[in-house]
Chain A
Amino acid sequence: MSTTEKERMPLVAALEVLRSLRDQQIVLTTMGAAREWPKLSQHALDLHYIPSAMGGAPPLGLGLALAKPKCEVIVINGDGAMLMNLGSLVTIVASGAMNLTVVVLDNGVYEVTGGQKTAAAAAHAPVDLAAMAAAAGIPSVRRYQDLETWRREAPQVVAMPGPRFIVLSVDPVAEYQLKSPGPMAQRLDAFRAALAGI
Chain B
Amino acid sequence: MEYPGEQVAAMLVELGVTHVVWLPDSAIGQWEQAFENASQFSLVRVCREGEAWATAAGLHLGGMRPMVVIQNTGLFESGDAMRNVVFDLGLPLQAIVGYRSALVPNSSDSARHFTEPILKAWGLDYVTIRSPEELPRVVEHFRKCRTAAKPGVALVAEGSM
Contact = CB atoms under 8 A, between A and B. Distances in A.
Interface in A70-119: 85, 87-88, 90-91, 94-95
Interface in A15-73: 47, 51-53, 55-68
Contacts of B88: 51-52, 184
A192 to B, nearest CB: 6
A182 to B, nearest CB: 13
Interface residues of A, number: 32
Interface secondary structure of B, over-half rule = helix
Contact of A56 (B54, B62, B90): B54
Given A53-B80, A53-B84, A66 B44 contact: yes
Name which of A47, A60, A191, A196 has the most chain B CB atoms within 10 A of its CB. Answer: A60
Contacts of B21: 63
Contacts of B44: 66, 91, 95
B66 interface: yes
A68 B46 contact: no
B50 A91 contact: no
Interface string B34-60: 000000001011111011111111111
Contacts of B113: none
Contacts of B45: 91, 94-95
A67 B84 contact: no
Nearest to B90: A185
A91 B85 contact: no
B42 A63 contact: no
Interface string A164-180: 00000000000000000
Contacts of A52: 84, 88
B50 A63 contact: no
Given A53-B81, A53-B85, A85-B51, A63 B90 contact: no
Contact of A91 (B47, B61, B66, B89): B47
A57 B81 CA distance: 10
B117 interface: no
A91 B58 contact: no
Nearest to B64: A67
Contacts of A191: 61
Nearest to B80: A53
Contacts of A132: none
A47 B58 CA distance: 11
A88 B55 CA distance: 10
Contacts of A60: 54-55, 57-58, 85
B83 interface: yes
B19 interface: yes
Contact of A67 (B52, B61, B80): B61
Contacts of A67: 58-59, 61-64
18 contacts: A53-B50, A53-B85, A58-B54, A59-B51, A60-B55, A61-B58, A62-B58, A63-B55, A63-B57, A63-B62, A67-B61, A87-B46, A91-B44, A91-B45, A91-B46, A91-B47, A184-B90, A195-B63
Interface of B: 19, 21, 42, 44-48, 50-64, 66, 80-81, 83-85, 88-90
7 closest cross-chain pairs (CB), A and B:
A63-B58, A67-B62, A87-B47, A53-B84, A59-B54, A56-B54, A63-B59
